[in-house]
Amino acid sequence: MRNLLISLLLIISFPALSSIYAYKGYIADNPIMLYLESSLNEVNKNQVNKGFWVYQNDPEQQLNVLSAECEFIRSCTEDDHPTSLVLYDNQDIYLDNILHKIKVKDSSHYFKFINMHIEQADDQKFLPETLTGYWFDGKNNQQYSVVLQKQFVINDQPNTEFNQIELLQLESLDKLYFTAVLLKQKNDKIKLVGINVYNKKNHKLLQHIQNLNYSYNKFNSIIMQDINFDGEPDLAIKKYHFNARSGDNYDYYLNDNGKFKATNLWGSDIYFNNKDKSATGTKRCYDYDEYEQKIIIQIDSVYHYRNKHYIHKKNQCQTHYFNTNVIRQCTENEYNACLLKRNNIIFENPHYIGEDNIYHKNMAWDRGKLVDGVIYDD
């Protein structure tokens, strides 16, 4: 039930034109970090959707998920000038099976911030520099005053720029937590340029994975997945936005006693086979042949795991005809053309030059040849 509720609340959590705010302060004498995600709603108001908070001295570095009151109790647009913000702990939110509504327990945990005045700067609207209010502990029926100071803001506005901002990630291990290292230049998109690995006990930086150039995925830039069949979770870094491409595309790192080592695994929707200790990455490219028949070219890259490494064994390529269901081996030109494209192009109109095509000398691949193209990696 808990996973279901979190899933329901996360559906609304990543709207377009959103910003993430990081605040630092105390609950009683315990230092905390609070992350708020807001978006511009239909009347151009800054609307907080959800948040996360963590005790900085918590050895588990457990992220507590928060949801704004208006997301499940009332509409956020009812009040034209809201002056307070209530954020409930997701552990106190449940699904009423009789009323079929998401509700909050009577003895709940929540933040309440008052005097919430939106600030304007450079045609942008920001949450205030200071959040003042209290944290209510529903279990002990105790209220603690809270004053938090803004540390940074992450948004995708054209004139925004920042360098080496670290955003805490939802996924973690028993002894390790991770941050996404972000970069943004003016008139460009936010980029994931690194992943930092920290010791939960003393916050010591253990590893800095750098020289990345991936899309911004907020609190979900990584997942932990066992890819070498030893029962220990390894690290997978998400390359692109959720739903930006068909097929999951990750950069995989093997966990060697808490040190993460890059693999050369290639392709999307990589399938890890425990029986023969192999991994197979797939790439699909849609195109037309010389007879204007719609085809799909599929490249499979096969790897075997041996001596703590993945070793590439072979690539195989097949061409599938939509109309006749005929399958044959790819020609060399078809194979090379698919390699020039990004991952898994599935469009109703395969003539479209979209985000899944890759630049090659300022050109993109379309209908069997290189053409002038503009690539938007959203």
Can you tell me the distance from the alpha carbon of 236 to that of 254, in angstroms, rounded to the nearest whole number? 9
Can you tell me the distance from the alpha carbon of 16 to that of 222, in angstroms, rounded to the nearest whole number? 21
pLDDT for residue 352: 37
pLDDT for residue 325: 87
Average pLDDT over residues 87-95: 87
Task: Tell whether pTM > 0.85.
Answer: no
- Predicted confidence (pLDDT) at residue 24 exceeds the cutoff of 90: yes
In angstroms, the first-to-last Cα distance of the chain is 33
Confidence grade of residue 73 (pLDDT, cut at 50, 70, 90): low
Can you tell me the distance from the alpha carbon of 39 to that of 155, in angstroms, rounded to the nearest whole number? 10
> DSSP for 315-374?
EEEEEEETTT--EEEPPHHHHHHHHHB-S----SSTT---TTB--SSSEEEETTEEEE--
Confidence grade of residue 364 (pLDDT, cut at 50, 70, 90): low
Can you tell me the distance from the alpha carbon of 151 to that of 313, in angstroms, rounded to the nearest whole number? 48
Identify the top-confidence range among 70-74, 97-101, 156-160. 156-160
- Residue ranges covered by each domain of the chain: 2-155, 156-263, 282-378
pLDDT for residue 354: 37
Please choose, from the candidates 114, 116, 113, 112, the residue with its C-alpha nearest in 3D space to the C-alpha of residue 137: 112
Average pLDDT over residues 326-352: 68
- Predicted confidence (pLDDT) at residue 86 exceeds the cutoff of 50: yes
